[in-house]
Amino acid sequence: MATPATALPRTQAGAGGRHYQRFDLLDRVMHGLLMVTFIGCALTGLPLMVADHAWAQSFSRMLGGFQSAMLIHRICAAVMIVVFVGHVARVFLDTARSGKWLEMVWGPNSMVPNLKDVQDIAGHVRWFLGKGERPRFDRYTYWEKFDYWAVFWGMFIIGGSGLLLWFPFFFAQFLPGWVFNIAMLVHGEEALLAVGFIFTIHFFNGHVRPEKFPMDPVIFTGRISEHEMLDERGAEYDRLVAQGRLAAVEAPPPSPGLRALAYAIGIPAVVLGTVTIALIVYSFLF
Amino acid sequence: MPAPSVRALLLVLLLTAAGCAAAQGAAKEEAAAGPNDGCLMCHADPSAKSAAGKAIAVDAKKFAASVHGAMSLPCTTCHADVQEGVFPHGEVKAAQCASCHEQAVKDYAGTAHGKARSGGRDVAASCADCHGAHDIAKRDDPASRVHRANLESTCASCHGNEALIQRANLPGGNVASRYHDSIHGQAIANRTSAQGAAPTCTSCHGAHDLRGKDDPASKVARANIPSTCATCHMNAKAEWEKSQHGRIAQSAAGAAPGCIDCHTAHDIAQHTDPKFKLAVTDRCGTCHADFADTYRDTFHGQVTQLGYAQIATCASCHGAHQVLPKENPLSRVSDQNRLATCQACHPKANANFVSYDPHANRHVREQGQLLFFTGKFMDFLLLGVFSVFGLHTVLWFVRSLRAMRERRGTPRH
């Protein structure tokens, strides 16, 4: 039963309406940790990349000097690596428990891109250009999958090069010096890509675009309203109805306290990220 | 009648003695007033003014305390154009120092000040500007304007006077204030017995041999600076002479940094001063621009740019006065010595660690194919991702706004 999202009466879709569980507690905690450590690494690393700017010099002093910035950077990096490894371990352990290995790579809940994602990209662009209906997305959209794999790529590139630079004496036992030159280059460039991407594209896609402005609290509350489910994830909704599993994921609406907490965490993060982008743009222009 | 005659004789004797004493006293008083009584009749009045309205007062006490006053020189020794007994006299020319200090005045004519003055720049210092006039003192007298403790402020009356510096376009700008904050100036200002030997202005520039830096005979001419500094810093000069910089400076090519190119002239600081350590990378960069740029790409360079001097700058690796090219086995960065140089800060460094290129340039292919292409790949990746998603975002944003407007138009219930 494909109900066009726009036909749904809005009154039914308010904060108190029907909700479905989208992210469990561990997902949300991991995203929270990833977010905090990512911002921590960005803010302590960026001053080095634009060290000739007065703001970087004052900000570095505010952080307590380069040694304390380095300490914060490494603590954040270590926690981030633990979260990353923990996530990967969790995916494999969950799959091992359920035995559904094929679904891990080839199901609607898989992060692996598939044919529908290609069709969705084309359909979404057609919609952008006013030449068709908006695609009905499933549980994970193509841009969410890109974000997800970008983190994987970034973890290997930035995390790997970062470990090299953190423990140079250990790695120099079996790696030549030029590897550190490469590590230094890619650590900074890839970090710029990651920071630039998360604080602009991810923020737009996930939070600040007109439908969600100023932010989408789902990653903190874990629950998505029926209205938004139909609007943004119609294919998932239809699938859950067809499988008779919709009722199983229904959840009470997030309490006002939880919603307030979501905004209390999310808004400062969006603001901090936007300020960071402004500083990067300023530093590369002037 | 011996009695009256004796009495008379005694009286005569007494009167004679008293008269002599009186006469002697009078003569003494005349000598103390000196030969300048006549002049001071007018010039001792503190409010005295010439016909032209110029203050003409002379502090007799100060003059008496001066080296010339102690010698009881009459005013006309210096003011030789004033005719005695004729007053009021007309306009008086500048004091004639040369009548006694012939050599000093001759030497002065060759100084930067003397040349400027003879060239018509009246702002240039002449004898009295440095030595004072009626209060003139010997230079080893702490009251002297040219005593080493007072020279800075004497020179600063022009070279530290912003208005005058601007108006007369004095060379070097406010060198006095910069010197004052320098390690030399501070040593003099807070002098201890050991630091009392620190150089003041004339130590480097000379006094009656003070010449502009473009004059080859100047103590501060480029070629002469190392010798001038070596008056005190003998070892530094000896090390520098053996360095690449020193060798080139002494060769025909000549264009190599000497002392002030790294240390500056008037802002000179202790080499351990963080300000100096941080500034020196820029100074090395005035010639070695590529190396300064690539240094700034490294962690060392980033941290020093942020303002922390605890980390390696140019001299930490290359040495200072003994800097040599890496092909020279004696160089601190030669293949033979590099490990030991890095180990000074990184005791756990090994051969692989020190084969890291601290001046790698990712934009120059010849300096390393892998780094060059990795850099190009990263550029392409960043450009690609931001172009594709930038466009995606802009299109989405515009479409979303339209969708929201359309939706707002639909009736609700």
- pLDDT single digits (tens) A151-208: 999 999 999 999 999 999 999 999 999 999 999 999 999 999 999 999 999 999 998 8
Residue B380 — very low, low, confident or very high, per pLDDT cuts 50/70/90?
Answer: very high
What pLDDT sits at residue B170?
Answer: 93
The chain B residue lying nearest A54, using CA atoms, is B306
Contact between chains at B400 and A48 (C-beta distance less than 8 A): no
How many other CB atoms are found less than 10 A from the CB of residue B221?
Answer: 15
Among A180, A227, A283, the residue to mutate for chain B (most B Cβ within 10 A): A180
CB contact under 8 A, B374 and A186: yes
Q: Is B339 on the interface with A (CB under 8 A)?
A: no
The partner residue sitting opposite B396, judged by closest CB among A128, A172, A173, is A128
**Nearest by Cα to A139 from A152, A148, A130, A131:** A148
Mutation target vs A (from B282, B295, B297, B303; most A CBs, 10 A cutoff): B303
For the residues of A70-101, what is the DSSP string, one character each? HHHHHHHHHHHHHHHHHHHHHHHHHHHHH--H
Q: According to the model, what pLDDT value does residue B42 have?
A: 84
Geometric angle at alpha carbon B151, from B149 and B154, rounded to 5°: 130
In this complex, is the C-beta atom of B49 within 8 Å of any C-beta atom belonging to chain A? no
Per-residue pLDDT at A199: 95
Question: What pLDDT score does B277 carry?
Answer: 92
DSSP conformational letter for A31: H
Structure tokens at A105: 């790579």
**pLDDT at residue B355 tops 90:** yes
Cβ contacts below 8 Å, chain A against chain B, sum to 134
- pLDDT tens digits, B37-49: 788 888 888 888 8
Reported as a pLDDT band with limits 50, 70 and 90, residue A125 is very high
Name which of A128, A174, A182 is nearest B395 (Cβ-Cβ). A128
The pLDDT value given to residue B33: 52
CA distances from B308 to A41, A72, A187 (A): 20, 17, 22
Q: Which DSSP symbol is given to A131?
A: S
Render pLDDT for A233-275 as a digit per residue (tens, 0 to 9).
Answer: 999 999 999 999 999 999 999 999 999 999 999 999 999 999 9
Confidence of residue B103 (pLDDT cuts 50, 70, 90): very high
Query: Which residues on A lie below 8 Å from B306 (Cβ)?
Result: 47-48, 51, 56-57, 60, 66
Average pLDDT score, chain A:
92
Check B357 against A196: CB less than 8 A apart.
Answer: no
* Distance of residue A102 Cα from the nearest chain B Cα, in angstroms: 30
Tokens found for residue A222: 């874990």
Q: Establish whether the linkage from the previous residue to A214 is cis, with ω within 30° of 0.
A: yes
The torsion angles phi and psi of B184, rounded to 5 degrees, stand at -65, -50
- Say how many residues make up chain B: 413
Quote the minimal CA–CA distance from B288 to chain A in Å.
18
pLDDT in the model for residue B359: 95
In chain A, residues with a C-beta closer than 8 Å to the C-beta of B413 are 9, 11
* Lookup: tokens for B36: 């300048």
- Determine contact, residues B262/B280, Cβ cutoff 8 Å: yes
CB contact under 8 A, B305 and A51: yes
pLDDT number for residue B399: 94
> Burial code of A151-176, b = ≥16 C-beta within 10 A, e = fewer?
beebbebbbebbbbeeebeebbeeee
B355 and A211 within 8 Å at the Cβ level: the answer is no
DSSP 8-class letter at A130: T
For chain B, the average pLDDT equals: 87
Interface of B with A in 340-359 (CB under 8 A): 346, 348-350, 352-357
Assess whether the previous peptide bond of B88 is cis (omega < 30° from 0): yes
pLDDT at B93: 81
CA-closest candidate to residue B79, choices B66, B68, B65, B67: B68
Using a CB-CB distance cutoff of 8 angstroms, which residues of chain A are in contact with residue B349? 169, 172
Query: How far apart are the CA of B383 and the nearest CA of chain A, in angstroms?
Result: 9
- C-alpha of B191 from chain center: 17
Of residues A196 and B26, more confidence is placed in A196
Closest Cβ–Cβ partner in B308, B355, B401 for A176: B355
* CB within 8 Å: B352 and A60: no
The pLDDT of B52-79, averaged and rounded, is: 88
CA distance B198 to B185: 8
Rounded CA-CA distance B30/B28 in Å is: 5
Domains (ranges, CATH) in chain A?
19-285 (1.20.950.20)
Q: What's the half-sphere exposure (Cβ side, CA atoms, 13 Å) at B66?
A: 19
Q: Which of A6, A181, A189 sits opposite B378 (nearest CB)?
A: A189
pLDDT of residue B194: 57
Q: Is the pLDDT of residue B21 over 70?
A: no
Chain B residues whose CB is inside 8 A of the A57 CB are: 305-307
pLDDT, tens digit (0-9, with 9 covering 90-100), for B265-323? 999 998 889 999 999 999 999 999 999 999 999 999 999 999 999 999 999 999 999 99
**Among all residues of chain B, which has the CA nearest to that of A175?**
B352
- The upper half-sphere exposure of residue A189, i.e. CA atoms within 13 Å in the direction of its Cβ, equals 21
Torsional sign, CA B299, B302, B306, B312: positive
Answer yes or no: is pLDDT of B73 > 80.
Answer: yes
User: How far is residue B13's CA from residue B9's CA, in Å, rounded to a whole number?
Assistant: 6
Q: How far is residue A260 from each of residues A208, A256, A263, measured CA to CA in Å?
A: 17, 6, 5
Distance CA A12, CA A40 (A): 40
Look at A209 and B355 and tell me if their CB atoms are within 8 Å: no
pLDDT reported for residue B5: 57
- The alpha carbons of chain A give a radius of gyration, in whole angstroms, of 21
Average pLDDT over residues A66-81: 97
Chain A contact present for B285, CB below 8 A: no
From the list B199, B191, B190, B156, the residue with the least C-alpha distance to B175 is B156
* pLDDT for res B37: 79
Average pLDDT over residues B244-267: 88
Q: Would you say A210 and B397 are in contact if contact means Cβ atoms under 8 Å apart?
A: yes
Q: What is the pLDDT of residue A186?
A: 96
Structure token pair of residue B391: 């466009």
Nearest residue to A250 (alpha-carbon basis) of A283, A221, A226: A226
Q: How far is A10 from chain B (nearest CA, A)?
A: 7
**Among B residues 386-405, those touching chain A with beta carbons less than 8 Å apart:** 386, 389-390, 392-393, 395-404
Show residues of chain A in contact with B346, CB under 8 Å: 169
Whether B354 and A196 lie within 8 Å, measured CB to CB:
no
Contact A210 B397 (CB under 8 A): yes
Categorize the per-residue pLDDT at B76 as very low, low, confident or very high, splitting at 50, 70 and 90. Answer: confident
Percent of chain B with pLDDT over 90: 63
Q: Do A210 and B400 touch (CB under 8 A)?
A: yes
Would the pLDDT of B22 be above 70? no
Cβ within 8 Å, pair A172-B378: no
Least confident of A168-177, B70-79, B340-349: B70-79
3-class SS of residue A284: helix
* Residue B56 phi, psi (nearest 5): -125, 15
Report percent pLDDT > 70 for chain B: 89
HEC string of chain B?
CHHHHHHHHHHHHHHHHHHHHHHHHHHHHHHHHHHHHHHHHHHCCCCCECCCCCECCCCHHHHHHCHHHHCCCCHHHHCCCCCCCCCCCCCCCCCCHHHCCHHHHHHHHCCHHHHHHHCCCCCCCCHHHHHCCCCCCCCCCCCCCCCCCCHHHHHHHHHCCHHHHHHHCCCCCCHHHHHHHCHHHHHHHCCCCCHHHCCCHHHHHCCCCCCCCCCCCCCCCHHHHHHHHCCCCHHHHHHHHHCHHHHHHHCCCCCCCCHHHHHCCCCCCCCCCHHHHHHHHHHHHCCCHHHHHHHHHCHHHHHHHHCCCCCCCHHHHHCCCCCCCCCCCCCCCCCCCHHHHHHCCCCCCCCCHHHCCCCCCCCCHHHCHHHHHHHHHHHHHHHHHHHHHHHHHHHHHHHHHHHHHHHHHCCCC
Nearest residue of B to residue A204, measured between CA atoms:
B393
Listed in sequence order, the residues at least 6 apart from A18 whose beta carbon sits closer than 8 Å to its beta carbon are A12, A225, A226, A250, A253
Q: Is B373 on the interface with A (CB under 8 A)?
A: no
CB contact at 8 A, B147 and B241: no
- Asked if the model's pLDDT at residue B346 lies above 90, the reply is yes
* B397: closest CA of chain A, how far (Å): 7
Strands of the A223-225 sheet, one edge to the other: A223-225, A19-21, A250-251
- DSSP 8-state symbol, A9: -
Q: How confident is the model at residue B212 (pLDDT cuts 50, 70, 90)?
A: very high
User: Chain A neighbours among B 77-106 (CB < 8 Å)?
Assistant: none
Amino acid identity at B44? A
Name every chain B residue with its beta carbon within 8 A of the beta carbon of A129. Answer: 395, 399
The strand pairing partners of A251, in sequence order, are A19
CB contact under 8 A, A176 and B360: no
User: Rounded to the nearest 5°, which phi and psi values hold at A251?
Assistant: -140, 155
Q: What's the pLDDT band for B192 if we cut at 50, 70, 90?
A: low
Supply the pLDDT for residue B54: 83
| Torsion region of B326: left, alpha or beta (phi above 0 gives left; psi -120 to 50 gives alpha) | alpha
| Predicted confidence (pLDDT) at residue A12 exceeds the cutoff of 50 | no
Could you tell me which of B208, B188, B59 has the C-alpha nearest to residue B134?
A: B59
**A132 by DSSP, 3-state: which?**
coil
Instruction: For an interface test with A, give the residue of B299, B356, B386 to mutate (most A CBs within 10 A).
Output: B356
Q: State residue B34's pLDDT score.
A: 66
Across residues B332-338, what is the average pLDDT?
96
Q: Percent of chain A having pLDDT more than 70?
A: 94
Average pLDDT (B237-264) is 89
Contacts of B303 in chain A (CB under 8 A): 48, 51, 66
List A224's β-bridge partners, or say none. Answer: A20
Lowest mean pLDDT among A122-131, A267-276, B93-102, B270-279: B93-102
User: Residue A135 has what DSSP assignment?
Assistant: P
**Which of B348, B355, B413 lies at the smallest CB-CB distance from A169?**
B348
pLDDT of residue A170: 97
